[in-house]
Structure 1
Amino acid sequence: MSSENPTYTVAICRPLNQQRIQCAGPHFMKYIHKIRHGVDGILSSASSTDEISANETEFEIDVDYLKSLDPKEWKDQDHYHVLGLKNLRYNASDDDIKRAYRKIVLKHHPDKRKAQGENVNSDSDYFTCITKAYETLGNPTKRRSYDSVDPLFDDSLPTQSEINKNFFETFSKYFGLNARWSEKKKVPEIGDENANRQHVDNFYNFWYSFESWREYSYLDEEDKDKGQDREERRWIDKQNKAVRIKRKKEEMSRIRALVDLAYNNDPRIVRIKNEEKEKKQAAKRARMSAVQAQKAEEERILKEAQLAKEKAEQVEQKRIEQIRLEKEQQKRALKKERKSLRDMAKENNYYSTSDKERIKNMEGVEKICEMLKHLELQSFNKELTSGGRNCFIKMLKQTEEKLEEERLAVFGASKTVAAAQQAQQAKQNTAVKAVDKSAMWSPENMQVLIKAVNLFPAGTVQRWEVIANYLNQHCTNLSNRKFAARDVLNKAKDLQSSDFAHNSLKTQANNNAFESFEKTKKELKIVDNAEISVNNENDAGVTKKGKKPETNGTTSKKPADTTKLNGHAEKSEKNEKSEKPATSNGTPAPAPTSAPAPTAANTTAWGKDEQALLEQAMKTYPVSTPDRWDRIAECIPNRSKKDCLRRVKELVDLVNAKREAQQAAK
């Protein structure tokens, strides 16, 4: 190592990592500004007019145009033209606007012009237009609003002659002008005639879903800030927004018309449609060819199958004809052998020794002819020629034994079939048992039926199915049998049409009512002159002087000779004529059959379950129901009609009291 050129060694503990650093800060921004505009620093750092006048060629101030402006009509002026940015317009940067304003102020300020001896009128001086132009373009929001209605922007659509002359150059120009309004920065170009389909689809998809930032607040007829109060400002703002929305719709319609015009005249779209049409036609032709080929193949297969079928039929016909001929030959041979047997037997007097045996052997010959086949019969004829009578008797005996065996076999089979049929019939008769339905209608079940009919009145959905289910749940001694809806309906009709006065159920009901009266008569409390009315019902349960109180809607004046069925009371003719009940033979009943005695009013507090039952019953039986409160009382155990009425009246009084208290508090 020499002393003149020392060498240093650096040890790196970790591997090198590449990192991306983004430049930022005031010094970097100053450097970028200097590269873009050729000025060191920002405009505010300029200290003399020499630095500003160095770029004097960028701005063209039209003094004649400035002098022609009217400060009162500043909104109709071209702000870019006023500041000398006529050529740059919307491409001018914020720094360009500031420098242009600075330059024009240094030259056209009223004080400067007065110092030069120019006569300046402060009311109509054009410097006000310069100030308004800078206020509009110096504010990003106001500048965007003004750029949206740039007076030099061309909103027209290309003519058909321009399109026919050069489609791509014409629409490239118009789409390029309208691309400035896009919210998205990357706007696809129209391309040329060699562009692929994906590029064309992307281009038209973008423009058909074009999002424009263009807005028309600059054209508002009235300024909402000039409103005298809040309501007026709101009204002005509402009117301005309505006009803006209308103009925005017109602008989007213009863009859509431009895109439709380009799409309908685009030669690439025509080419793509023709290609698609050709593809569809080619696919259609391919399908038609495939269908025709398949049809031809099916016809060929069908023809081959038909030929094969005809050939098979011919072969089968020949076979059948051959079999028929063979059968005929066998039949003729068999007939010949039988004739030989009959002739041989006739020549030998049927191998008999007496007339009786002769007749028997004649029958035997026929049996042998029927039993033996051709070969057997041929062999027997040969044996019979040499054997004579003994051979014939032996064969006759064998034939009779065979016939007997066949007869026994047929008889045994028929007997077995008959026995099996009898056994099956007996089994079916054993399986089918008659149900004694009358045994199911015991007195207790009859009472449950009457209660169910009253509990579920006419109008109930599927009434008789509901009553049948109720009976199956509450009746006893059914022995795994169930009531059907039809059986319940027939029994109810029988009870309704029969004379219930002659029925033993009445006597039993009267006896039960009398026993109940004997048990509760000591606890009976009579309430005189008590009137309860709910919902203006006159028959809700009125207790008058001279009459006994009623329980569950039955009075003690007449015997309980009525049965409620289908919601109506049914009385017999005999009970209408006489108050005394009659037995089945027409004689007066010896036992006392007074009506059920009323029970004392139940003074116990109403429970939650009872209250729920009362509310449900009042919903089930509306005001128009006959004997409404009697039916409601039947639905609530241990509660009479009077208890239900009293409870309802208490609830009504309680509701009225609360209502009066609320009204008094108001």
Structure 2
Amino acid sequence: MSTDLGWACRPSHPLWFSADRHRASTLCQVEPVGRWFEAFVKRRNRNASASFQELEDKKELSEESEDEELQLEEFPMLKTLDPKDWKNQDHYAVLGLGHVRYKATQRQIKAAHKAMVLKHHPDKRKAAGEPIKEGDNDYFTCITKAYEMLSDPVKRRAFNSVDPTFDNSVPSKSEAKDNFFEVFSPVFERNSRWSNKKNVPKLGDMNSSFEDVDAFYSFWYNFDSWREFSYLDEEEKEKAECRDERRWIEKQNRATRAQRKKEEMNRIRTLVDNAYSCDPRIKKFKEEEKAKKEAEKKAKAEAKRKEQEAKEKQRQAELEAARLAKEKEEEEVRQQALLAKKEKDIQKKAIKKERQKLRNSCKTWNHFSDNEAERVKMMEEVEKLCDRLELASLQCLNETLTSSTKEVGKAALEKQIEEINEQIRKEKEEAEARMRQASKNAEKSTGGSGNGSKNWSEDDLQLLIKAVNLFPAGTNSRWEVIANYMNIHSSSGVKRTAKDVIGKAKSLQKLDPHQKDDINKKAFDKFKKEHGVVPQADNATPSERFEGPCTDFTPWTTEEQKLLEQALKTYPVNTPERWEKIAEAVPGRTKKDCMKRYKVVVSVYKFRYHLFVCVCDVTTTVVVRVSITRKLSGAPGWRSRLSVRLQPGHDLAVREFEPRIRFWADGSGPGACFRFCVSLSLCPSPVHALSLSVPKINKR
């Protein structure tokens, strides 16, 4: 079988050449071989329609045509070149390829070298009668060196990296302000020769898409350059005499190359940065992106506004429905309130009528007494009945008084008075029991055990009160300081801790008012025992007295005062039936009691105290310190201090001061006789007679 057909036959059985081969058909296996099959495989792998040989032939023909068209440029300085300085020469210009340079093919370089040899070989010139230098001193050595450098791909790349004709300049921003594409396009074009990657993207024009521009700058910001600077090595390692010297030369050369490579990459980065900052397309894309974001923002805001409007519309509808429902409910409540008010007014009128009837009935019987004192007391009891009895009870009592004799009416009245007094007594007992229970619970919560919570004498209690007032809230480590103060000044010898002091202070705050009264009374008795009674002056002015009915008044406790204050805050002035609700919030007190107490508290703040101190015959500077303490039984007190500095020649000093008052708990108003504890001290020591006038009350 002919090999020109691209096929070869081989026997499928070892007896293929038997005598019977012409008698029957023989099965054989064939495999493709030959240059035509090879060309077919190469075309298939290369996705080429033409044959491989045709492509090679076309390539060779194109190169031959280029060689035929190649025109060498004569280098005028060729004969003046120094063969010893061959490294600084332009190898392309020496071979006549200065106009082609890095684009020259190996065939062109070989052809150029051949032409230069035929023209400048020493033998040719010698035959022509030209002078020739001996050895390597002839300029023909430069042609040989140029061919050696350009025929070796590695050495040629090294020379191309430092091509003396390459323009390394980078356009500034001002140069490309008006003609960006004309300035930067050739710069990127000539720098693209250093790329390791093929198909370098072009700069484009104003019509380039965002994707193309983004791909262009992404490529150049991640530029992979093959440019290296080994050609500029100052030392040649081949000239080294030993291995150590060669290593040192290599180390120096690597450092120099790395530095130049770094400068080259900085140059490329500067080029790309300048182009990016001046590129009008970038500005256009940014403006488009900004406009797009603004449009999206406006669309989003519009959608949000519509959504808010829909929600607001729905909310307004819900509010309108709720308002109508509330108005309907309020109208119903108002109607019910009107009915209730009418009923209450009717009841109030009936109660008022029954109260007046009860007063008239008692007045008719002369309050069932012939004694003036008993009559006044009975009048008070009748008023108490009027305040506390309900309508049915008043009607029943009035019916009894009008339909019976004096003795029967008096018995019914006294029975009713006894029931009311018993009810008031029970309410007070319940309130006191609650206060005692609260005090016990407070003592238990403070964990009262150990030496700190036991054996608190009267002196220790007074010392604790003094320390608490001496070191107010806000003092650093306040309770530790108070405990240390007590341990220093206490005469009992019991060591108190901060925990003990805190527990006792809390228990004192939650004490029952009667227990507080006992403590204050014991402290005052002890003060009188130690200091004696202050002698009264003979010429003391009489105290002022406000005329008024004398009533058997029960003092207000601290707890009742707190309840009254809280009720005054809870029920403001515009509250209907305000004083009835306030009286209900204070157990054991009627509406009149609460109103009278409120008037007393308000009247206190309308007074100012004046203290007149007279120091006679002062011959030196004297400081008079006056301390006035007001203390009423069963009520908290206040203390005011005043310091007066007197100069020589002054015999009278008048100072006005207003004490700080939280509230008054005496229950008798400002017209009562107050007890003042006045203590005077002179600094320096007393030198002359001192006279003090009695404090008096003046209205503003």
Which has the larger share of strand? 2
Which has the larger share of helix? 1
TM-score (norm. length: structure 1) = 0.45
